[in-house]
């Protein structure tokens, strides 16, 4: 009744004023939806290269490439179209939402086919950097097959069952060690889903803040260390992740009112939000912080929207995995080291400056 009285429900394009109106065959009912999307970082997209056929960016973390789940507007493709004026965009490859780094896009179907063929023939070399706990081996190669055990939530695992899984290979090299953490270079020779993350978990060195493959329920001291995780454990983890996703979708942290939003807005500035990118990698966010951030994200709540009155979990924004460079026989695109890798001291300082060779 509230929705009808507020003019949100329409019959054949007209506001419904009579609650006793009867709907007939052929009538069209429509209503206005107040949609909430998870926030993303406001990091500007850095362009490494651009011409009439293609462009290359340094993708920020936190943003998915395509629409999926609750993300419809806050996607990389949509931001490129709406904020940067790119109408024709052809994705050549993908990066996970939490992964940052080099991403290549084609602007014509012809260039898209050319780049995709290079990837299929494995003529494009890729380098990533990641951060793991402990002293990583100087160099090691993993060539175990990978199987997707859940397409719905995206969980993959090493499999030893003959005929299952797809061939995969990643070469790892230790770049630096600070006494507690290792900065590792990863060179995937194949392009399987979550390949680097799965191979690192298999070695017993999952990425420090990987929300899937470094989840405490994996019991990695017990499993991992170059041994496949038992099928029963993988199935148990899939159920845990499904339950976790459902709880995140439905959970309400704190009921907020207009008065509390106004009060909290005065306690936090836009600069504070920008300086705390919510990567949970050393940033401690109190409940007040979360309330204040939501007040900024949603300054004018809708009285009919349940999400406007409820404070939900803010998603993780960063994972310590970065696509450092992509190269072919004819070109190379490289970014600077990400912020979480710049504090390391290297035995021999590598030339990890941003550059483009074409």
Highest mean pLDDT: which of 10-24, 32-46, 192-206, 259-273? 192-206
3-state secondary structure of 193: coil
Q: What angle do CA 49, 50, 54 make, to 5 degrees?
A: 110
**pLDDT at residue number 151:** 76
3-state secondary structure of 213: coil
**pLDDT at residue number 3:** 76
Q: Kindly report the number of other CB atoms within 10 A of residue 111's CB atom.
A: 18
Average pLDDT over every residue of 117-126: 94
Average pLDDT over every residue of 178-189: 95
Cα separation, 336 vs 129, in Å, equals 11
Average pLDDT over every residue of 252-266: 37
Contacts of 183 (CB under 8 A, 6+ apart): 129, 130, 131, 174, 175, 176, 177, 341, 344
Cα separation, 243 vs 241, in Å, equals 5
Known catalytic membership, residue 143:
no
Q: Which residue has the tokens 């230790």?
A: 174
Q: Kindly report the number of other CB atoms within 10 A of residue 258's CB atom.
A: 13
pLDDT above 70 for 227: no
**Mind giving me the DSSP string for 98-165?**
T-EEEEEEESSHHHHHHHHHHHHTT-SEEEEEEEEES---SEEEE---EEEEETTTTEEEE--STT-S
pLDDT above 50 for 166: yes
With b for 16 or more beta-carbon neighbours within 10 A and e for fewer, the 33-65 pattern comes to: eeebebbbbebeeeebeeeeebbbbbbbbbbbb
The sign of the torsion formed by the CA atoms of 249, 253, 257, 263 equals negative
Nearest to 200 by CA among 233, 209, 96: 209
pLDDT above 90 for 282: no
What digits encode the pLDDT tens for the residues 60-90?
999 999 998 888 889 999 999 999 999 889 9
pLDDT above 90 for 190: yes
pLDDT above 50 for 271: no
Cα separation, 357 vs 331, in Å, equals 5
Cα separation, 218 vs 229, in Å, equals 9
- Classify residue 72 as exposed, middle or buried by CB count within 10 Å of its CB (0-12, 13-18, 19+): exposed
Average pLDDT over every residue of 226-251: 69
**pLDDT at residue number 258:** 40
Cα separation, 163 vs 174, in Å, equals 32
**pLDDT at residue number 267:** 35
Average pLDDT over every residue of 162-188: 92
Residue of 18, 52, 88, 96 marked active site: 96
3-state secondary structure of 77: helix
Average pLDDT over every residue of 18-36: 84
């Amino acid at each position: 009744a509230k929705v009808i009285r507020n003019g949100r429900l329409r019959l054949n394009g007209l506001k419904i004023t009579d609650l006793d109106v009867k709907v007939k065959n052929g009538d069209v009912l429509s209503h206005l939806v107040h949609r909430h999307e998870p926030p993303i970082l406001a990091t500007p997209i850095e362009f490494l290269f651009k011409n009439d056929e293609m462009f290359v960016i340094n993708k920020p973390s936190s943003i998915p490439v395509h629409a999926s789940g609750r993300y419809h507007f806050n996607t990389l493709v949509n931001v490129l179209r709406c904020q940067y004026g790119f109408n024709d965009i052809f994705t050549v490859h993908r990066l996970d939402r939490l992964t940052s780094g080099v991403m290549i896009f084609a602007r014509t179907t012809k260039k898209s086919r050319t780049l995709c063929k290079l990837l299929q023939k494995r003529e494009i070399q890729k380098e990533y950097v990641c951060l793991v706990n402990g002293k990583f081996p100087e160099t090691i190669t993993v060539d175990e097959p990978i199987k997707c055990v859940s397409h719905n939530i995206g969980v993959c695992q090493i499999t030893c069952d003959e005929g299952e899984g797809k061939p995969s290979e990643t070469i790892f090299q230790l770049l630096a060690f600070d006494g507690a953490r290792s900065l590792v270079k990863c060179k995937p020779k194949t392009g399987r889903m979550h390949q680097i993350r799965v191979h690192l978990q298999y070695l017993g060195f999952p990425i420090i803040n990987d929300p899937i493959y470094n989840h405490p329920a994996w019991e990695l001291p017990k499993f991992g260390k170059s041994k496949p995780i038992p099928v029963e454990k993988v199935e148990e983890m899939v159920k845990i992740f499904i339950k976790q996703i459902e709880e995140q979708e439905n959970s309400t942290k704190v009921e907020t009112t207009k008065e509390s939003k106004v009060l909290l807005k005065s306690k936090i500035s836009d600069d504070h939000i920008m300086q705390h990118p919510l990567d949970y990698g050393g940033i401690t966010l109190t409940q007040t912080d979360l309330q204040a951030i939501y007040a900024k994200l949603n300054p004018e709540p809708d009285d009919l929207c349940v999400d406007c009155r409820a404070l939900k979990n803010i998603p993780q924004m960063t994972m310590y995995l970065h696509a450092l460079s992509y190269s072919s026989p004819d070109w190379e695109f490289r970014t600077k080291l990400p912020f979480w890798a710049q504090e390391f001291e290297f035995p021999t300082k590598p030339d990890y400056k941003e550059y483009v060779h074409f």
